[in-house]
Amino acid sequence: MPETYEPIASAVATGSVFSFSFTSIPSTYTDLVLRYSVRSDQNGPYNQARIYLNGASGIYSATNIAGDGTNASSGRYANMPGGMELAFITPANAASGIYAMSEFNVMSYANTNTFKTLLVKQSWDGVFPRYSVVLARTTAAITSISVEAAGSSFRFVAGSTAALYGIKAAA
């Protein structure tokens, strides 16, 4: 871990859980980094995770690119109605044993004069990396972040983890 990263909080699922939540995030850092590694308890084709900043819905827009060495794709999503549905964990299901990994960099999270920008890196089992740039249309300081199962029928399995780091200002 780079020495500029300071652990704020972390969680490990010891059983089946619906979400990981980090609250009361201090405003003492320049940026935040959220990392998680999750797997669904279901084998359905649409297992996804949603990320919520301060519990807000409908404020997210994203542009992403993805590829697997043979195929490439890109997309633009404006005004996502729920949380950020960027954390696709479809192959990270009960049968596969694969965990989906994501890293969210939240820039200037405590600045109350600008919208929030996020850089997102995602992959499952080192395959099909996906990169996204997200705009969260809020000027509120980010004081809570939650990672939730997007569907009502699935949960994250035991061993799924989430960790939040603060990035110190450069010296």
* Per-residue pLDDT in tens (0 to 9) along the chain, 171 residues: 557 899 999 999 998 888 999 999 999 999 999 998 888 887 766 667 888 999 998 899 989 888 877 888 888 988 876 777 655 555 667 677 778 888 999 999 999 999 999 999 887 766 668 888 999 999 999 999 998 887 777 888 889 999 999 998 755
Instruction: In whole angstroms, give the CA distance from residue 81 to residue 125.
Output: 29
Contact of 22 with 109, CB cutoff 8 Å: no
- Count CA atoms within 13 Å of residue 2 on its CB side: 9
Q: What is the fold of 5-167? A: Jelly Rolls (2.60.120)
Put simply, whether the predicted model's pTM sits higher than 0.75 gets the answer yes
Q: Which amino acid is at 36?
A: Y
Cα–Cα–Cα angle for 44, 19, 35, rounded to 5 degrees:
95
Where in the chain are the domains?
A: 5-167
Q: Rounded to whole angstroms, how far apart are CA atoms 61 and 117?
A: 10
